[in-house]
Amino acid sequence: MKNEVKAEVDEIVASGGRRPHLCVLLVGKDAARISSESIKLPESTSQKTLLQVIDKLNKNQEVDGILVQLPVPGHINERSVCNAIDPSKDVDGFHTVNIGRFCADQQAFVPATPAGVMEIIRRTADATTTICHRYTPPEQLTVFTKTADILVVATGIPNLITADMVKEGVAVIDIGINRIKDEKTGKIKLVGDVDFEGVSKKASYITPVPGGVGPITVAMLMKNTMKAYRKEINFD
């Protein structure tokens, strides 16, 4: 590493900010405290510099888990960044090694949001899985949503799913996180992709936003961090 780049990286890492904010207390033999550190880099940061910061964290024995908050600015290749993280510290499960191992039924770090959703559903029973996406015609979308026993929504479109689109007794999991302006107060508020007000009247279960998938995602990230700390995942 060139000296001036190294100095820059050292400075960025050193200015990484305050430490013990996030305190997760586990009582019993696993009692531990997870400390976390946010390293905020300017938008203009080059890919090279970012990769060097990651490399330093990879080599730092004190660091068990690394998460690069996505999305990254356009001049940075997301895949290269995810793949720069040591797979054994990849608590996001975004490294191709972890994705590949997961798909091949090998031990791996699994992404926190889907793991959280599975935790919510907590069922291993057979289910037919169908996927709709941005090219699903709107009138067809309703055909699918109306037949669903479990409806998992992640679109980024506020109020996409309304009461008329679901069947009585459906279980709804809302992964959407949208910041919209509240018509009444003028304040920015957080909503999901589901019209909670209407759909909750028909649903047997429904996760709210905020207070649903978000917090359980964080919990799954903590779980992965503990797995990384204990070196529980065997990458052989």
Ligand X SMILES: Nc1nc(=O)c2c([nH]1)NC[C@@H]1CN(c3ccc(C(=O)N[C@@H](CCC(=O)O)C(=O)O)cc3)C=[N+]21
Residues that bind ligand X (CB under 6 A): 67-70, 92, 112-113, 177, 190, 209-211, 214-215, 217-218
DSSP E strands, the chain: 150-153, 171-174, 178-181, 188-191, 205-206
Q: How far is the CB of 235 from ligand X (least distance, A)?
A: 20
* Integer angstrom CA distances of residue 141 from 109, 153, 178: 32, 12, 20
Which residue, 79, 80, 20, 26, is CA-closest to 48?
80
Q: How far is the CB of 179 from ligand X (least distance, A)?
A: 8
Residue tagged 């091949």 (tokens) = 104
**Which CB sits closer to ligand X, 69 or 234?**
69
Q: How far is the CB of 218 from ligand X (least distance, A)?
A: 5
Q: How far is the CB of 15 from ligand X (least distance, A)?
A: 21
**Which CB sits closer to ligand X, 180 or 190?**
190
Q: How far is the CB of 113 from ligand X (least distance, A)?
A: 6
Select the residue whose beta carbon is closest to ligand X and give its number.
214
Q: How far is the CB of 74 from ligand X (least distance, A)?
A: 16
**Which CB sits closer to ligand X, 160 or 213?**
213
Residue 181: φ, ψ to 5°: -85, 130
**Which CB sits closer to ligand X, 114 or 198?**
114
With b meaning 16 or more CB within 10 Å and e meaning fewer, what string describes 119-153? ebeeeeeeeeeeebeeeeeeeebbeebeebeebbb
| C-alpha–C-alpha distance, residues 164 and 175, integer Å | 20
Q: For residue 133, what are its two tokens?
A: 């996406």
Determine whether 7 is exposed, middle or buried from the number of CB atoms within 10 Å of its CB (0-12, 13-18, 19+): exposed
**Which CB sits closer to ligand X, 112 or 117?**
112
Inter-residue contact 117 to 152 (CB < 8 Å): yes
**Which CB sits closer to ligand X, 217 or 225?**
217
